[in-house]
Amino acid sequence: MTMRFHWKILAAALFLIATPCLAEEVANDLKPPEPDTDMLALMSGRCSILSVAGRDFACKAVAFAHSTRGRAYFTIALDDPADHSHIISFSGENGQRTDQNQYELPIDRMVLNSKHRPKVDGLPVPFVESSAGKCTQFGNFAMGQVSSIACVATDRTGKRYELRFDSDGSPITLRKVRPSAPSIRLHG
Instruction: Output the pLDDT for position 30.
Output: 47
Residue 23: band (very low, low, confident or very high) from pLDDT cuts 50, 70, 90: very low
Assess if residue 35 is contained within a domain.
Answer: yes
Assess if residue 128 is contained within a domain.
Answer: yes
Assess if residue 183 is contained within a domain.
Answer: no
Is residue 2 over pLDDT 50?
no
Residue 122: band (very low, low, confident or very high) from pLDDT cuts 50, 70, 90: confident
Is residue 26 over pLDDT 90?
no
Number of domains in the chain: 1
Could you report the per-residue pLDDT of 89-111, keeping only the tens digit for each?
A: 999 999 999 898 999 999 999 99
Per the structure, the complete domain to which residue 170 belongs is given by 3-178
For 28-63, letters b (16+ CB in 10 Å) and e give eeeeeeebbbbbbbbbbbebeebbbeeeebebbbbb
Handedness of CA 53, 85, 136, 15 (dihedral sign): negative
Instruction: Output the pLDDT for position 179.
Output: 55
Give me the amino acid identity at 33.
Answer: P
* Distance of alpha carbon 150 from the chain centroid: 12
Residue 175: band (very low, low, confident or very high) from pLDDT cuts 50, 70, 90: confident
Could you report the per-residue pLDDT of 49-87, keeping only the tens digit for each?
A: 999 999 999 999 999 999 988 899 999 999 999 998 899
Q: Report the distance separating Cα 117 and Cα 40, nearest Å.
A: 24
Assess if residue 188 is contained within a domain.
Answer: no
Assess if residue 58 is contained within a domain.
Answer: yes
Is residue 17 over pLDDT 70?
no
Assess if residue 184 is contained within a domain.
Answer: no
Q: Residue 17: CA atoms inside 13 Å, Cβ hemisphere, count?
A: 33
Assess if residue 187 is contained within a domain.
Answer: no
Pick the range with the lowest mean pLDDT from 76-80, 81-85, 129-133, 163-167.
81-85
Assess if residue 186 is contained within a domain.
Answer: no
